[in-house]
Each structure stands twice: as structure tokens, then as C-alpha cells.
Amino acid sequence: MVAVTQAPARDDRPTEDHIVVLRGVTWADYQRMLEIRGERSSPRLHYTEGVLEIMAPSRSHEGIKSFIGRLVEVWCLERNIEFGTYGSWTLEDKAVDRGAEPDECYIFGAAQDAPRPHLAIEVVWTSGGINKLVTYSKLGVGEVWIWQRGRISVHVLRGAEFAEVPGSEVLAGIDLEQLASFLDRPSTSQAIREYREALRTASR
């Protein structure tokens, strides 16, 4: 069965985001899809126990995820936190029958050889696709941020499941409500300048 979902933009009007969900997909099928897609960043593939989501992100989707990522980097630079940016790193594990490609992901600290990112960021426009937290729950990613309708929620792995928590644990002290307030700027550079100034003003 194939389900096609078109997601709404931030103002709830349609955008070019397209999501196709396929069921009854084998691990070998998923691997073939990765091979066919190759090194391109789109479409993004999420696979969980026979269910494959194929998502072609819109310009708006890509803009939001990039805004969030750049502001995370500004926050880390202002606090001298080492980080590595790994974009849509393909995370897969045949043993747990799961694969994911986050919108953005990071490893923090001087050692950048961790087998999995410490943080994955997902932009969600609408319901209807795979529950990304189910996909990530057995892939060894400790924290996932989900942007949806102007809000960033934080989900931390507790045992076998994710729990929503008030604030980030991997970046303790970051104010995500404040960060999200800068996502409506007309350009990434303006958002960076204004967010950096806000951080510096608060630390004076």
C-alpha cells in the first residue's frame, strides 16, 4: 500500500514537500533504494521494520533545518563547544531493521569518531509519515529535536523509548524557545547576526 502526503508550510498553506510511505519493504529493498539514490541529499529515506518513508523536502523545509543548524553552531561557538556537523548522515542497522537520515545531526566534543550523532534534528510539517522517534529509538541516537509549527521539542532516549523533556541534555542551557524566535528572519545571515548579538547581550 502506498500513501502520499503533501505537508503544509509554516503558515499552513501547501508547499512542495512530498512524502511517500511504502509498506512491505524488505531490508534488501531499502538498500537498493539507497543505492539508486546514491550520494544525493534528496530524497531522504527513513526505514522501520518494513515501512519506508521517501521524503522530497521543499525549499522551506530545507531553509528551516539549515536555520536551526546554523543557530546551534552559533550557540556552540559562543560557548567554545567543539562540534562536528554531519548533515543527513545515513544511519542504518540491519540487526534492528531501521535506517534514518536526519535533516541535521551533530557530534559534540573534541573526539569526532562517535559511531552515532549525539543530536539529530528533524523538521516535521505534518503527520502521516513514519514516526521518526520510533526509527531513532534503536539506532543509538541519544537526543532528537523536532521542529513543528514553530516549536522545537526535545526528546531524549530513556531505555528503549524517547521521552519529551523540557530542555536539551546534550547542549545543556540552550534556550530553544529563544532560538526558534529567530527562525522567521528573511535571511540566514540576519538570523545569525541577531541571535549572536542576543547571546552576547545576555552574557554581559
pLDDT in tens, 114-139: 999 999 999 987 666 789 999 999 99
pLDDT for 12 beyond 70: no
Q: Which residue bears the cell 525549499? A: 59
The helix/strand/coil state of 177 is helix
Check residue 41 and give its pLDDT. 76
Query: pLDDT-derived band of residue 144, with 50, 70 and 90 as boundaries?
Result: very high
pLDDT for 15 beyond 80: no
What is the C-alpha to C-alpha distance for residues 177 and 165, in angstroms, rounded to an integer?
13
Q: What does the pLDDT average to over 164-169? A: 97
What is the H or E stretch that residue 192 is in?
helix 188-203
Check residue 203 and give its pLDDT. 82
Q: What does the pLDDT average to over 6-26? A: 65
pLDDT for 11 beyond 50: no
CA atoms within 13 A on the CB side of 92: 14
Query: pLDDT-derived band of residue 190, with 50, 70 and 90 as boundaries?
Result: very high
The DSSP 8-state label assigned to residue 4 in this structure reads E
For the chain, the average pLDDT equals 89
Q: Per-residue pLDDT tens for 64-96?
A: 999 999 999 999 999 999 999 999 999 999 999
C-alpha cell at 132: 521518526
What percent of the chain stands above pLDDT 90?
Answer: 77
What is the C-alpha to C-alpha distance for residues 131 and 109, in angstroms, rounded to an integer?
29
pLDDT for 45 beyond 90: yes
pLDDT for 7 beyond 60: no
Structural domains present in the chain: 58-203 (3.90.1570)
Q: Minimal CA–CA distance to 87: which of 65, 100, 111, 103? A: 103
Check residue 1 and give its pLDDT. 37
Q: What does the pLDDT average to over 172-176? A: 97
Q: How many C-beta atoms surround the C-beta of residue 105 within 10 A? A: 24
Q: Minimal CA–CA distance to 125: which of 3, 1, 2, 16? A: 16
- Amino acid identity of residue 56, one-letter, is A
